[in-house]
Amino acid sequence: MKKKLLIIFAFTLMGYLIIPSGYTKTSASQDVLAAFKGNNCVECHSRLMNPLKLTSRYGEWHISTHKDKGVSCDKCHGGDPSMKDEKKAHTGILPTSNPQSKMNPKNLPETCTTCHQQIVAAFVGSKHYQSLKATGLGPSCSTCHQHMVTQVVYSGEDAAKLCASCHDSANSSLPKRPEIADQADEAMQAIRRASLIVVWTNRLLEEAHNKKVDVAKAEQEMKVVQGLFIEAKASFHAYNLDAVRKKADEAHQRGTKIKDELRAKLYPNQ
Ligand code: HEC
Ligand code: HEC
Ligand code: HEC
Ligand code: HEC
Ligand code: HEC
């Protein structure tokens, strides 16, 4: 997982170094400047070349879903994006290691809840949250989503490894509970199965729209499936792995039925 991220990042960085600015209209930094015009955090940080540690943070954000969705630095870090001056812009921004920082692992749930209420609510009900608040030992959002929220855990294997690092490791003070990693593996696979069907079915719905085929009923049913899928992902944050599997499997079954009906409707001769 980390390796993949590093490779993507290396290419992103190479892009900056190799492509002189103004070389092409689609040059990455120009796109960003257009979408985030007037946001001084993005404008200044996208141009920083030194020190490398900090520019790498910019690169991580640059390839993230948050950038694609228009979530600028200040939405998570705070500060004042209307200020061109570095000091003024950084008002209120503290190093992550400071317990008062919005980015300190202990405070991330509160920072992220502005936009991810359902997920954070599930997390807050878990032992992980209690332990994070009490001792700082439980995982926080950045444990599984990387520093700049560039990653989601994708494979069952990755999920299992992650849980095992605390729940089944000689390096951890927690009692060995190998079954936790196994259950997480299965739950993650169920999420992936459901995810594939959701993507596939949504593509078919789009095709139906383009072909002006009436699929109102399938669309209604698909809303239920989406809801189940979102609940499954939220349940993952409560570490209620049984619930994750049940909801994800139900989303998968119902989604498959809709998908097959749509295919029969769109391609009757296949
Ligand atoms: C004019 C340029 C400039 C602007 C505007 C700017 N920054 Fe920075 N920022 C920097 C530089 C340079 C550093 C590295 C400072 C250092 O090495 O101490 C930095 C450091 C940081 C750090 C690391 C702080 C730490 O203590 O570890 C964060 C987080 C950050 N900026 C976020 C932001 C956000 C959010 C905004 C907008 C609200 C912003 N920056 C606006 C230039 C800028
Ligand atoms: C979705 C939320 C989010 C957005 C948007 C975001 N960051 Fe971050 N950033 C984080 C988190 C979380 C951390 C701390 C992760 C950790 O614990 O290592 C972090 C860490 C950093 C650090 C290291 C700070 C330190 O004290 O170690 C810098 C620098 C930084 N971000 C700059 C930026 C800049 C510049 C942008 C915009 C181009 C940005 N971030 C956008 C969430 C975000
Ligand atoms: C200003 C709103 C905002 C804030 C603050 C924010 N996010 Fe997001 N986040 C979004 C949006 C929008 C998406 C895109 C998915 C969606 O539409 O739900 C997203 C997606 C994600 C994803 C999925 C990424 C992917 O590639 O699929 C993760 C994980 C995530 N956010 C974690 C966090 C964490 C952790 C924090 C706090 C450090 C945070 N977010 C703060 C708006 C936000
Ligand atoms: C122990 C690991 C773990 C921790 C801790 C964790 N997440 Fe997640 N997160 C996941 C997994 C697994 C998924 C589902 C992956 C997928 O979308 O395929 C996910 C998905 C998400 C999504 C995308 C949901 C969607 O509907 O697409 C968001 C947003 C998110 N997490 C936010 C957070 C926030 C905020 C925190 C901290 C309160 C957090 N996560 C802590 C593992 C974790
Ligand atoms: C950074 C370390 C860390 C990681 C990573 C981690 N956990 Fe935990 N987990 C904890 C701590 C600490 C507790 C609280 C232990 C306690 O209070 O008994 C806990 C408690 C739990 C519990 C409650 C146990 C019980 O006896 O009721 C479950 C379930 C759990 N974790 C599942 C998971 C899963 C699933 C993953 C992977 C997706 C995971 N954990 C990853 C540290 C971690």
pLDDT of residue 64: 86
> For residue 150, what are its two tokens?
């560039």
For ligand 1, say whether the CB of 39 is within 6 Å of any of its atoms. no
> Which residues line the pocket of ligand 2, CB cutoff 6 A?
41-42, 45, 54, 57-58, 61, 66, 71, 73, 75-77, 95-96, 103, 105, 108, 142, 147-149
User: Computed from CA positions of residues 22, 23, 26, 32, in that sequence, does the dihedral angle turn out positive or negative?
Assistant: negative
pLDDT of residue 149: 64
For ligand 5, say whether the CB of 194 is within 6 Å of any of its atoms. no
pLDDT of residue 87: 96
pLDDT of residue 3: 42
- Report the amino acid identity of residue 167: H
pTM attached to this predicted model: 0.87
Instruction: Choose the residue to mutate in 80, 103, 113, 150 for probing ligand 2, maximizing ligand atoms within 8 Å of C-beta.
Output: 103
For ligand 4, say whether the CB of 109 is within 6 Å of any of its atoms. yes
For ligand 1, say whether the CB of 89 is within 6 Å of any of its atoms. yes
CB 197 within 8 A of CB 249: no
Query: Atom 27 of ligand 2 has which residue's CA nearest to it?
Result: 96
Does a cis peptide bond (omega within 30 degrees of 0) precede residue 178?
no
| Residuewise pLDDT in 10s, the chain (270 residues) | 444 444 444 434 433 333 333 333 334 445 556 789 899 999 998 888 776 666 678 888 888 889 989 999 999 999 999 999 999 999 999 998 999 999 999 999 999 999 999 999 999 999 999 999 998 888 899 888 876 666 676 788 988 988 999 999 888 888 999 999 999 999 999 999 999 999 999 999 999 999 999 999 999 999 999 999 999 999 999 999 999 999 999 999 999 999 999 999 998 887
Q: What is the dihedral of CA 68, 237, 104, 62, to 10 degrees?
A: -20
CB neighbours of 53 closer than 8 A, spacing ≥ 6?
Answer: none
Distance CA 228, CA 65 (A): 22
For ligand 1, say whether the CB of 174 is within 6 Å of any of its atoms. no
Nearest ligand to residue 234 Cα: 4
pLDDT of residue 84: 95
- Report the amino acid identity of residue 109: P
pLDDT of residue 228: 97
